[in-house]
Chains A and B, each alone.
Chain A
Amino acid sequence: MAVSGMHLTRIGKGNFLLEPLRSMNIADQGRLMQEVVAQVRQGQGARLYYDLNGLPVIDPVYYDWLSNLARTCRIVNIEMICINMEPTAAFALSGFLSGKPEFATALAVPD
């Protein structure tokens, strides 16, 4: 499915996989969130798996983007789950995170 800067793929019933590309511009997050949610709803998705594989660091700016996307998803009853978080990213994020994140986490997409 076409959302600029990412691959959004339907994986099984109700599940979508979001794989961000290097070209993804999170400065334009309003438009991105709207397009992602629209696509997932159109496909009657209930869960959005956000693949963080290969992302070495999550800084506050990127965390804001993830949080905003997760909140937007929650409003329309979609659960966002971040998967494949790199150890370095987990370390960086745990350094400034004060409470529970807005999104759920998992090692990978469940079998």
Chain B
Amino acid sequence: MQKKETSEKLATLFSLKIGNISGQLEETGRAFFCADTMLMDEDEVADLSSEFVNLISGLLSAKEPAKRTIPQFHALEIFFSELAHRMLMRGGHVEDVVRYAQQLQYSLIAALERDSGVVFTQSRSVLLYFAQLFDELIMAIFRTYLGEREKTLKAQEMELRETSTPITEIWDGVLTLPIIGTLDSSRTMLVMEALLNRIAKDHARAVVMDLTGVRNIDSQVSHHLIQMVRAVQLMGADAIITGIHPEIARALVSLNIDLSGVTTRASLSDGLKEAFSRMGIQVSQKAG
């Protein structure tokens, strides 16, 4: 008998003609996005509430409102996902959006109750329906948050890689590439791509690769390094490797890496002198 009663309330909810309750939901939006955080203005909150009411009305009046594959549910997911994205872009926290969604759930049930006169807060099936619905919507918020975090981390990683291998034209036609930190295959490939493009762009005739800041090297990376030197030479530029640490030299020998076709010098300054001499440039102290 009780089960029948609760199912009837859920059926009532699904057949409800929802009136203008967006005004009642605005308070929740204002509390989270206008008060301290100043993430939205009042007009934006009013639009947000009105859009949410339209979407929830669409879902509740759908043929199968409990299904998660219907377009009305997908529209709500997009609504929360876009809201999370907008708030994160404005410097908001994911917690604000999640708490807003949670509070919106309670406000919505209360508003529907006031609007229809049916006591939904006493119906377990109605409460369960909304709890499951909002759980899914909160998941959409977290998915957006994680996607944004991942994008930020990738961008930072990319930036770090670019700044950790600055290619500088130290003289007309002479490029220097100081490599600092651990060289792995993906980084070596990235450096190679940037270096080859730069040679083509600047018509560089010599490249000095300084490995002073490299402490470890493995077999794969050493092969990439040789490949990089070969590619530079194929483009018609001279490649000079400088600053090879004794540990690296020992590793290259034990890995049977042939450096016979590669010009090496002890330090960056020696490498530059070699590059200048090959280009017929003489740098001398001013007399007097």
- Chain A bound to chain B: yes
State how many residues of chain B have any CB contact under 8 Å with chain A: 20
Give the number of residues in A that approach B within 8 Å (Cβ atoms): 20
A90 touching B261, Cβ below 8 Å = no
Distance (whole angstroms) from the CB of B203 to the closest CB of chain A? 5
Cβ of B26 to closest chain A Cβ, rounded Å: 57
What does the 1/0 interface line of A79-111 toward B look like (CB < 8 Å)? 000110111111101110101110001111000
B227 near A85 (CB under 8 angstroms)?
no
Q: Is A90's CB under 8 angstroms from B234's CB?
A: yes
Assembled-state Cα–Cα distance A93/B193 (Å): 14
Binds A, one of B147-155, B194-202, B271-279: B194-202
Q: Which of B203, B204, B235 contacts A90 (CB 8 A)?
A: B235
> B237 at the A/B interface (Cβ < 8 Å)?
yes
What CA separation (Å) do A85 and B234 show in the bound complex? Answer: 7
Residues in B with CB closer than 8 Å to A82 are 234, 236
- Which one, A85, A88, A99, contacts B236 given CB within 8 A? A85
Chain B residues in contact with chain A, CB under 8 A?
192-193, 196-197, 199-200, 203-205, 227-228, 230-237, 261
Instruction: Please name 22 pairs of A and B residues whose Cβ atoms are closer than 8 Å in the assembled complex, sorted by A.
Output: A82-B236, A85-B235, A86-B200, A87-B193, A87-B196, A89-B234, A90-B196, A90-B231, A90-B232, A91-B192, A91-B193, A91-B196, A93-B234, A94-B227, A94-B230, A94-B234, A97-B230, A97-B234, A100-B261, A106-B236, A107-B205, A108-B203
Closest 5 CB pairs of A and B: A87-B196, A94-B231, A106-B236, A107-B236, A94-B230
